[in-house]
């Protein structure tokens, strides 16, 4: 099974699964999340349902919370 490094941990994923499906399957709500996908900055406004991670990719999540 292909693997990605997700938040620093080796994690299996289903080949052909989109980034959005991957996150949803792990119960992450995309709203107010920032993704670092192999160095590319992504947010909820990007078409995460059309982006497909590959074996060996790196995905890190960061949450934006209010206050300033």
Partner 1 sequence: MNVNPYLSAAQQIILTQAKIGVAGLGGLGSNVLSHLIRAGVSHFIAADFDTVSPSNLNRQFFFADQIGQKKTTALAENLRRINPDVELEFHDCLLTEENIPEIFKNCHAVVEAFDKADAKTMLITALSKTNIPIVAASGLAGFGKSNDIRVRKVGSHLYLIGDLTSGISPELAPASPRVGIAAAMQANTVIAILLGMQI
For partner 1, the binding residue among 43, 47, 55, 56 (CB under 8 A) is 43
How many chain residues are in contact with partner 1, going by CB under 8 A?
22
Adjacent-strand bridge partners of 61: 35
20, containing H or E segment: helix 19-25
Contacts of 62 (CB under 8 A, 6+ apart): 33, 34, 35, 36
- Rule CB under 8 A: is residue 8 a binding residue for partner 1? no
For partner 1, the binding residue among 12, 49, 55, 60 (CB under 8 A) is 60
> Where along the sequence are the contacts to partner 1 (CB under 8 A)?
31-34, 36-37, 39-46, 60, 62-68
């Amino acid at each position: 099974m292909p693997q990605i490094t997700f938040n620093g941990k080796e994690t299996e994923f289903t080949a052909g699964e989109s980034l959005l499906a991957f996150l949803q399957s792990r119960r992450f709500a995309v709203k107010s999340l920032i993704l670092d996908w192999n160095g590319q900055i992504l947010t909820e406004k990007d078409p995460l349902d059309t982006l497909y991670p590959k074996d060996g990719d790196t995905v890190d999540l960061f949450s934006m919370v209010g206050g300033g």
